Amino acid sequence: MSDEQLDDLTQPQRDRLAFVELRVRFIGDIRRQDLVSRFGIQSAAATRDLAIYKELAPGNIDYDTKAKCYVLGEDFKPLFDFPPERVLSWLTQGFGDGEPSQLKAWVASEIPSRLTHPDLDVLACVTRAIHQECPIRVEYHSISSGQTERQIVPFALIDNGLRWHVRAFDRRSQEFRDFVITRIKGPVLLRDEEVQAHERGDQDIQWTRIVELELIPHPDQPRSEVTEMDYGMRDGVLRMKLRAATAGYILRKWSVDSSPDHSLRGPEYRLWLKNPLALYGVRNAVLAPGYRSPDQA
């Protein structure tokens, strides 16, 4: 593949080829209808796009006659250089799949970047496993256990504001856990391994449970009306519905004083969790600033 070959294509064609690559690399398959639905083109044009992509990158996609779709090739080498932010935006929010290029911003802005980004090859294996509902074998590095080999059944990505996690059933501990993606090495899809009913995401109580939180301006901070404006409160309260598996992350990211007596001090604590009992039984509640269980309180 040469840059000249890509340069000969129109921008809409390049965008469609970029979509082909994203689908195959991170979802694991693509059908002609996916292009038709995404770009509103005719079937004949979608067929041409797939043929052009295969010509430009022969080892990237193979046709699976049984599934009647194109799947990831064994000799995959990315044609487009997608930054991790674009990939994660596409995976989690469904936009930003056009060909990556240097575009001039419409207005001056500054967005704080993350400390680290997940390796895209590792992320691709994880997201394919989520889409195809199959386990993966990983080498995982944790602070408590060090390096271990595990089989996990992933089903969702979680952004805690600093790092990306994958929510998965861990066959080693026989429970659902969050795994930091940057700590995963050498993931391998286990397509022939059957996923048991108790390993599926709908059996994860922390994931399926919804907690309703009430946040109010911190009683010990001045200008509560300004806090109400900043957070779009109604009647002085911000009501949130969160999955139990993400509640601790959100409260920590927002620096919400979650102590029962709003005892935390500091300018970062603009909000107080009015109903801390809503976190009872939430495993990651320990991440919420100042949280104490009813027994501790």
Domain boundary among 54, 80, 106: 80
Instruction: Please state the domain count of the chain.
Output: 3
pLDDT tens across 250-275, in order?
A: 999 999 999 999 999 999 999 999 99
For residues 136 and 218, what is the distance between their CA atoms, to the nearest angstrom? 44
Q: Is residue 88 part of a domain?
A: no
Same domain, residue pair 224 and 192: no
In this structure, how many other beta carbons lie within 10 angstroms of the beta carbon of residue 80? 19
For residues 75 and 60, what is the distance between their CA atoms, to the nearest angstrom? 6
Range of the structural domain that residue 23 is part of = 3-80
CATH assignment at residue 125: 2.30.30
Edge-to-edge strand list for the sheet holding 29-30 = 29-30, 69-72, 61-64
Domain boundary among 31, 51, 80: 80
pLDDT at residue 148, as a whole number: 96
Q: Is residue 112 part of a domain?
A: no
Domain boundary among 80, 100, 129: 80
CATH assignment at residue 63: 1.10.10.10
pLDDT above 60 (res 212)? yes
pTM here is: 0.88
pLDDT at residue 1, as a whole number: 47
* Pairing, β 271-273 against β 256-257: parallel
**Phi, psi dihedrals of residue 215, rounded to the nearest 5°:** -110, 135
Q: Is residue 292 part of a domain?
A: no
Same domain, residue pair 154 and 177: yes
Q: Is residue 268 part of a domain?
A: yes
For residues 47 and 232, what is the distance between their CA atoms, to the nearest angstrom? 48
Side chain identity, residue 244: A
Helix axes 32-39, 43-56, angle to 10 degrees: 120
pLDDT tens across 114-158, in order?
A: 778 899 999 999 999 999 999 999 999 999 889 999 999 999 999
